[in-house]
């Protein structure tokens, strides 16, 4: 092949690629710009001055939108999902390196959890908790347990059904990432550690964990951002307290000021911040892992 001259297909596909990137990022940049509309400005161009008016409204919660309660809920839920996804995926990924009973079934279930339509999973969780509630109420009535009978409404909530719904979405991604990591993992280091008399826990703690730490940052990143943006699985399974994306979905049809663009920019900002932190985390973890193993 001629190394210097690019074929025509390069330029054509390059143009398609470029157009796609514009298509991908253009709209997001548009609302970034429009979120700085002046106080008189509307939902579309032209810009009537440049201001942080809509951000101020959003910040004070005095505009149409008061989203800080759901903002905090989503943040907490995202953090819990992140930690659980990382720990559970790491353990399961480690387990899959050896044979164990039910291995094939567990793998298929995990993949199924990824591809079964979200609305079906969400509905299922809602029904499960409804049946549970009915059972608890019937039990309380039958045995005359006063406090349970009066105080109990539902087991559904942010950190029960909501958390479970999010985990069915984040864990398959976490496990697949761990598969990719362990597929490229050097077995001989572990063997060497074992030959030197390390216990399984020592092998895990001092050999495996430092080596996979950078990839764990990736799993954590997926865990948080997928949870932060999740709608479909949460929708039926959350109970009364909405998460931020659900609030946002409701606002799309009611809010007619650029405040919604300011909110959108803030939410995207959180995602971008987490992505950047993850990249920093990976590079730091890699450097430390290299130091520890090599020197």
Partner 1 sequence: MSSSPPDRRPMGRPVAPLLQAAPLALVLLLFFVFPLLATAVVSLWNYTEYSLVPDVTQRNYVEMFEGCSNLGEGLCTTFRTYLSTLRLCAMVWAFTTLFGFAISYFLAFHIRSDTMRMALFLVCTAPFLTSNVIRMISWLPLLGREGVVNQFLISTGVVDQPQDWLLFSDFSVVLAFVHLYTLFVTVPVFNSMMRIDRRLLEAAQDAGASGWQTLWHVVIPLTKPGLVIGSIFVIVLVMGDFVTIGVMGGQQIASIGKVIQVQMSYLQFPAAAAQAVVLLGLVLLVIAVMTRLIDIRREL
What is the largest distance, in Å, between two alpha-carbon atoms of the chain? 86
Specify the residue, 69 or 131, whose C-beta has the smaller distance to partner 1.
131
Specify the residue, 95 or 290, whose C-beta has the smaller distance to partner 1.
95
What are phi and psi for residue 231, nearest 5 degrees? -125, -55
To partner 1, the closest distance from the beta carbon of 294 in angstroms equals 23
Number of residues counted as binding partner 1 (CB under 8 A):
100
Which residue carries 């440049």 as its tokens?
A: 50
Among 56, 71, 79, 123, contact with partner 1 (rule: CB under 8 A): 123
To partner 1, the closest distance from the beta carbon of 276 in angstroms equals 10
The reply on whether position 88 binds partner 1 by CB under 8 A is yes
Among 43, 50, 138, 145, contact with partner 1 (rule: CB under 8 A): 43
Q: Which residues inside 227-266 make contact with partner 1, applying CB under 8 A?
A: 228-229, 231-232, 235-236, 245, 248-249, 252-253, 260-261, 264
Query: What secondary structure, in 3-state letters, does 98-118 show?
Result: CCCCCHHHHHHHHHHHHHCCH
Cα→Cα distances 107→99, 102, 149, Å: 12, 9, 41
Whether the Cβ atoms of residue 234 and residue 29 lie closer than 8 Å to each other: no
The reply on whether position 24 binds partner 1 by CB under 8 A is yes
Cα atoms in the 13 Å half-sphere on the side-chain side of 61: 6
Specify the residue, 43 or 145, whose C-beta has the smaller distance to partner 1.
43
* The one segment of 57-65, 138-146, 147-155, 200-208 that binds partner 1 by CB under 8 A: 200-208
How is residue 19 annotated by DSSP?
Answer: H
The reply on whether position 201 binds partner 1 by CB under 8 A is yes
Count of beta carbons in the 10 Å neighbourhood of residue 217:
20
């Amino acid at each position: 092949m001629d190394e210097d001259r690019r074929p025509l297909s390069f330029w054509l596909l390059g143009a398609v690629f470029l157009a796609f990137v514009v298509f991908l990022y253009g709209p997001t940049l548009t609302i970034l710009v429009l979120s700085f509309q002046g106080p008189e400005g509307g939902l579309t161009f032209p810009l009537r001055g440049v201001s942080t008016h809509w951000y101020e409204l959003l910040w004070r919660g005095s505009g149409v939108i008061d989203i800080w309660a759901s903002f905090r809920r989503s943040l907490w839920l995202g953090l819990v999902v992140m930690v659980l996804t990382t720990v559970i995926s790491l353990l399961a990924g480690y387990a899959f390196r050896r044979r164990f009973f039910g291995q094939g079934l567990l793998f298929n279930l995990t993949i199924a959890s990824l591809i079964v339509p979200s609305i079906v999973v969400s509905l299922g969780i809602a029904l499960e908790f409804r049946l549970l509630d009915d059972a608890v109420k019937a039990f309380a009535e039958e045995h005359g347990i006063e406090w349970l009978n009066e105080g109990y409404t539902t087991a559904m909530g942010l950190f029960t059904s909501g958390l479970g719904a999010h985990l069915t979405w984040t864990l398959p991604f976490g496990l697949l990432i761990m598969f990719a990591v362990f597929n490229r993992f050097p077995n001989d280091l572990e063997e060497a550690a074992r030959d030197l008399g390390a216990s399984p826990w020592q092998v895990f703690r001092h050999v495996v964990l430092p080596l996979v730490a950078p990839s764990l940052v990736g799993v954590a990143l997926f865990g948080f951002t997928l949870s932060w943006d999740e709608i479909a699985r949460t929708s039926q399974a959350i109970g009364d307290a909405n998460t931020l994306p659900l609030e946002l979905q409701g606002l799309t049809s009611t809010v007619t000021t650029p405040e919604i663009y300011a909110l959108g920019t803030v939410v995207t900002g959180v995602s971008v911040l987490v992505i950047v932190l993850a990249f920093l985390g990976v590079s730091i973890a890699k450097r430390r892992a290299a130091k520890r193993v090599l020197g």
